[in-house]
Structure 1
Amino acid sequence: MTENSQRSVTIERTSTGHFTATNARGGTISFGTASDSRGGTEFTPVELLLAAIGGCTAVDVDVATSRHTEPTEFSVAVTGNKISDEHGNRLTDLEVTFSVAFADVEGADRARAILPRAVKTSHDRLCTVSRTVEIGTPVTATVEGA
């Protein structure tokens, strides 16, 4: 069986500064600019990147730990500093911090024990998003028909 390795989304402008991304399965997420005078709450593209970094590892960690017991708390904080320098606008000092707790039930000790390893394995090997950011992958931007 061959696996299709290509991943894609399409992005459509819905109004000035507002967009909707659609994946191949039909799921959508709206996003926009933080400078919207209407006080919108949509995520910005930078916030989506932070969510993708944390979300990718969160999925891996959840799969590894919840097979032993359900967490009573599971949150991930992702932060970074936006700077502008000779390389242009970018984020630095990216940090992903997990806050996970398990009740004292069967499987909890095992889940607690594997939590640090699950986070490390996801970060070092499994999470496509953070691996791509850390390794650095060229991005090509083109205009169709140009």
Structure 2
Amino acid sequence: MTDMGDDTLRTVHFERTSNSKYLVHNVRGGTLSVGSGGDTDADFTPVELLLVALGTCSAIDVDIVTSRRAEPTDFRGVVRGDKIRDPEQGNRMENLVVEFTIRFPEGEDGDKAREALPRAVKMSHDRLCTVSRTVELGAPVTTTMEDSP
């Protein structure tokens, strides 16, 4: 059963700034430039943003759990996958991997954080990270169009 409380809706808005370039806005006033990934386009592509979302969603979950015990001395990650161009099933990503490098200081608090780390990573993957859970479980996407004069 799903929980459909009053605050379940998440929304971003985007607008075209030039050919294949967009400015995305969130409800808190943040903005992000998105582009097609051409040779001179430094903006993130939609696929890169998917990878960003997968990695940082889990990173936030893991950070919340482990930093209660000790502040990390190193916390970074790499997210990778293969972009498949499939004429039958369409383009998609496969072989998605989120790889963390997380270190904690020596001492009792660092030991507690290191001990909690594997459980936090597993909980994020199995239950907490909305992004990876959605990708793994699959969710239909509806695309509509507003007719304008």
TM-score, normalised by the number of residues in structure 1: 0.94
Q: Distance in 2 between matches of 1:69 and 1:106?
A: 9
| Alignment-derived partner of residue 91 in structure 1 | 93
State whether structure 2 residue 29 is matched by structure 1 residue 9.
no
The AA in structure 1 aligned to 2:128 is: L
| Alignment-derived partner of residue 22 in structure 2 | 19
Alignment of 1:22-41 (within 5 A): 22-36=25-39, 39-41=40-42
Structure 2: which 5+ runs fail to align? none
Identity percentage of aligned residues: 55
Q: Distance in 2 between matches of 1:3 and 1:101?
A: 38
Q: Distance in 2 between matches of 1:118 and 1:76?
A: 15
| Alignment-derived partner of residue 51 in structure 2 | 50
Structure-2 change in CA distance of 1:25 and 1:107 (3 Å): same
Q: Distance in 1 between matches of 2:14 and 2:84?
A: 26
| Alignment-derived partner of residue 138 in structure 1 | 140
User: What is the CA-CA distance between 1:18 and the residue it aligns to?
Assistant: 1.0
Greater per-residue strand proportion:
1
| Alignment-derived partner of residue 113 in structure 1 | 115
The AA in structure 2 aligned to 1:30 is: S
Q: Distance in 2 between matches of 1:115 and 1:68?
A: 10
Post-superposition Cα deviations, 1:50-109, rounded to whole Å, max 9, x if no partner, equal 000001000000000011111010011100000111210000000011100011134100
Superposition CA RMSD, Å: 1.3
The AA in structure 2 aligned to 1:117 is: R
Q: Distance in 2 between matches of 1:135 and 1:67?
A: 30
Count of residues paired in the alignment: 143
Q: Distance in 1 between matches of 2:133 and 2:22?
A: 26
Q: Distance in 2 between matches of 1:96 and 1:73?
A: 16
| Alignment-derived partner of residue 76 in structure 2 | 75
Structure 1: which 5+ runs fail to align? none
Q: Distance in 2 between matches of 1:76 and 1:6?
A: 28
Post-superposition Cα deviations, 1:4-55, rounded to whole Å, max 9, x if no partner, equal 110000011111111111011111111101125xx12111000000000001
Q: Distance in 1 between matches of 2:36 and 2:107?
A: 45
Structure-2 change in CA distance of 1:98 and 1:21 (3 Å): same
TM-score, normalised by the number of residues in structure 2: 0.92
